[in-house]
Structure 1
Amino acid sequence: MSGDDRQNEEDRQSELAREHKERQAKRAAAQTAKSRRNTFIGAGVAVVVVAGGIFAATTLVNREPSKVSAESTPSASASASTLPSVTPPAKTGPVTCTYKRETGVPNKFVGLPGKKPNMKLKKMTIVTNRGTVVIDLMTDAAPCSVNSLSFLAKKKFYNNMKCHRLVTPDVSGVHMLQCGDPLAKADGKNPTDGQGTAGYVFGDENSDISLSKGVVFMTQAGDAMGQNNSQFAISLSDENNQIGSGYNVVGVVSEGMDMLEGLATSGKDLLLNDADITGDGGTTAPKKPVIIKTITFK
């Protein structure tokens, strides 16, 4: 083999090695993203999938997804930190919501919401033992999610409920508060925390918005679809943008963000549960309980 041939062969092998390394890096990045998404929700949701597969529950007519802008400035009543703001979506056509009874998980059933949502609801106020949170709703884009939350609030489903999951970046790589399990003990020990629901599920909507700080969204198990229930979460950091979209976004916090960010600054403020990170059961709970007193809509 001539010198030129040897050089060409070495160059070809070098190129092949480089391409192989790039493919490995891409596979590793994809696996990390999938792992982070599963860790993000973790054990803090219902883990049993409805028999018969995915249930597409919501019918929307001519709905354009709304957008969240991270560039806008919050109102004077919001936290000093910059929060995303709600951009009104295009007008929608008639909306019909469908909710399907689900008995395969621990639940507290108080009935099924009506099929016709109240499209005039603009704000959701959560009064807790730690302070009050006001959420500007995206009802036009997520009518069936807002309808479900409003129905359960009227039934006093959330009254005196402990928020069962609080995680910080040093524990799980993300920062969020999760609530809505009516059976949760929020002690960091109970292996079934995060599995409880209102006993029904409904479909996906408004699921193309990144989960930046202040975004409020419905939670469902890892890679599930159409399994939304009573549980919701509040994103407490822009780090959650790495998860991407895929969850029903119902609105954005307009008041109370400072209080929420102060609930935990590190794992030292939490009742740690390793099973939460692996998705094997139980949740990482706040050492100082976060208890919902009431939720109201207007």
Structure 2
Amino acid sequence: MRKLFLCICLLGFAVPVNAYEGDVLFETNFGDIVIDLYPEQAPITVDNFTGYVEDGFYNGLVFHRVIEDFMIQAGAYDSDLDFHPPTSDPIVNESNNGLSNVRGTIAMARQSAPDTATSQFFINHVDNLYLDYHYNNNPGNYGYCVFGEVVAGMDVVDAIAQVPTHSTNGLDDVPAEPVIIESATVIPEPATILLLGLGGMVFAGKRRR
């Protein structure tokens, strides 16, 4: 896998949205996370996810379920733990796409039935291979669809995974300090752009499986 990175100093920068051909930038109160998406392997899932991103659905929501050495989950609750219902229908489970729930990948959360994913997602903090599609060897184990991976900000994921948690409002593993998605934005490719503060460094690169 070839990587090309270009470092540029800028005072300001405007990033146009380019559908789901780009990556997704999560700006959180713990730092920024950049997700590289895989539309070729999971086209329905990526289209669903980027639809929520472009609609601003994730803005102001929190990582409401955090378990160190497992995963961090978001896409349903705000900082008051008020539930935000999904705005689109459930999608087909594309877990049989050859991608694995390894550390740093992003996958769709769902109910027990396979085709029930909507807005909720999780980022794997460690390798969770038992979450992969294993139906051929274990009927009923449909797995959880991986549709991208963290390419910048894994240290932020690690920090989020380590926050103290408690049970409240009928939910378990809720961070005691809210971990807020301040904004979620689709950023373009082939130039994947990460802004590190105003007037800071801008990294432009290409990374694709």
Asked whether the two chains share a fold, i.e. TM above 0.5, the reply is yes
- Superposition misfits of 4+ residues, deviation over 4 angstroms: 72-77
- The answer for the alignment partner of 1:269 in structure 2 is 164
The one of 215, 228, 248 aligned to 2:105: 215
More strand by share: 2
Give 1:63-212 correspondences, 5 Å limit. 121-169=21-69, 175-182=70-77, 185-186=80-81, 196-207=85-96, 208-212=98-102
The one of 146, 150, 170 aligned to 1:249: 146
Unaligned runs of 5+ in 2: 7-18, 134-142, 189-209
How far the C-alpha of 1:154 sits from its partner, in A, is: 1.7
TM-superposition CA deviations, 1:67-111 (whole Å, max 9, x none): xxxxx899989xxxxxxxxxxxxxxxxxxxxxxxxxxxxxxxxxx
> Distance in 2 between the 1:285 and 1:74 partners?
36
SS at match of 1:200: coil
- The answer for the alignment partner of 2:156 in structure 1 is 259
How far the C-alpha of 1:153 sits from its partner, in A, is: 1.6
Checking the alignment, whether the CA contact within 8 Å between 2:65 and 2:74 is kept in structure 1 is: yes
The percentage of counterpart residues that share the same residue type is: 27
Residue type at the aligned position of 2:72 = L
Structure number with greater Rg is 1
TM-superposition CA deviations, 1:225-278 (whole Å, max 9, x none): 11110011000112x22333311211011100011112233xx711246x9xxx
Instruction: Sort the Cα spacing of 1:154 and 1:243 in 2 relative to 1 into closer, same or farther, 3 A.
Output: closer
> Distance in 1 between the 2:88 and 2:30 partners?
28
User: What is the aligned length?
Assistant: 165
Residue type at the aligned position of 1:146 = V
How far the C-alpha of 1:184 sits from its partner, in A, is: 7.0
Checking the alignment, whether the CA contact within 8 Å between 2:27 and 2:181 is kept in structure 1 is: yes
Instruction: Sort the Cα spacing of 1:272 and 1:74 in 2 relative to 1 into closer, same or farther, 3 A.
Output: farther
- The answer for the alignment partner of 1:228 in structure 2 is 117
More helix by share: 1
Instruction: Sort the Cα spacing of 1:75 and 1:260 in 2 relative to 1 into closer, same or farther, 3 A.
Output: farther
TM-score normalised to the size of structure 2? 0.68
- The answer for the alignment partner of 1:27 in structure 2 is none
How far the C-alpha of 1:198 sits from its partner, in A, is: 2.8
Cα RMSD of the aligned pairs, angstroms, is: 2.9
